[in-house]
Amino acid sequence: MLLKDKVIIVTGASSGIGAAAALKFAEQGAKLVLGARRRDALEAVAGQVTRSNAAAVAVPGDVKDAGYAEELVEVAEERFGGLDGAFNNAGKLGSGAMVEATGPEEWAEVIATNLTSGYHAARAQIPALRARGGGSLVFTGSFIGHTATLPGMGAYAASKAGLVGLMQAIA
C-alpha cells in the first residue's frame, strides 16, 4: 500500500496508460480523481476501481480548458480533503502529417492537448500540493521529441519536448 490514502489526479484515465495507472494506484491504496473526455469509458474505469474497494471519482472534461484543471483540483479537495499528486497523462498523436502539411489548427490542437494542458494542470495543482506540504507531479512524455523522433510527428515531438522543459522548470 505505497500510496495509502494519497489523493491523486490521473488524466487520460479513460483508456491506455492512464486507465492502467489508475488501477495500479488504486491497488496501492490511492484515492483517485479521474479525468478524460469520454464519460462512459471514464466511468467504467472509476467503476472498476470502486469495485476493488478503492475510491475514485470520474470528472469528464477537456484538458485544453484551464477551468477543467481547476475543477479536478477542487474535486480532490472537496471529496478527499486535499491533493498529494497528479499524473498529467492525457495526450494525442495528431494526424501523422509531415510538418509542411500540418495546418495551424492541427498544430495548435496537439500543442494545447499535450503541452499547454501541462501548464494549466501544474498551475492549478502546485498551490494544492504546497498546501498539503508536498507531493508529486508526473507528466507523460515520450521518446519522441526527447531522444528520437519519427516522420509526421512535428507537433507531437515539439509538445513532448516542451513538457520536459516545463517539468524541469517546475522542479
Ligand X SMILES: NC(=O)c1ccc[n+]([C@@H]2O[C@H](COP(=O)([O-])OP(=O)(O)OC[C@H]3O[C@@H](n4cnc5c(N)ncnc54)[C@H](OP(=O)(O)O)[C@@H]3O)[C@@H](O)[C@H]2O)c1
Binding interface with ligand X (CB under 6 A): 11-18, 36-38, 41, 62-64, 89-92, 113, 140, 142
Q: Which amino acid is at 97?
A: A
Beta bridge partners of 58: 34
Is 156 among the residues known to form the active site?
yes
Distance separating alpha carbons of residues 57 and 65, to the nearest angstrom: 19
Between residues 15 and 50, which has the closer beta carbon with respect to ligand X? Answer: 15
Given the C-alpha cell 494542470, which residue does it identify? 121
Q: Which is nearer to ligand X, 14 or 102 (CB)?
A: 14
**Could you say which of 49, 61, 156, 157 is catalytic?**
156
- We find the least distance from the C-beta atom of residue 160 to ligand X, in angstroms, to be 7
103 φ, ψ (degrees, to nearest 5): -75, 160
If we measure between CA atoms, which residue out of 131, 128, 125 comes closest to residue 167? 125
Q: What cell numbers appear for 84 in the block?
A: 498529494
- The residue among 127 and 143 lying less far from ligand X, judged by its C-beta, is 143
Shortest CB 57 distance to ligand X, Å:
16
**Kind and range of the H or E element at 36?**
strand 31-36
Positions marked catalytic = 156
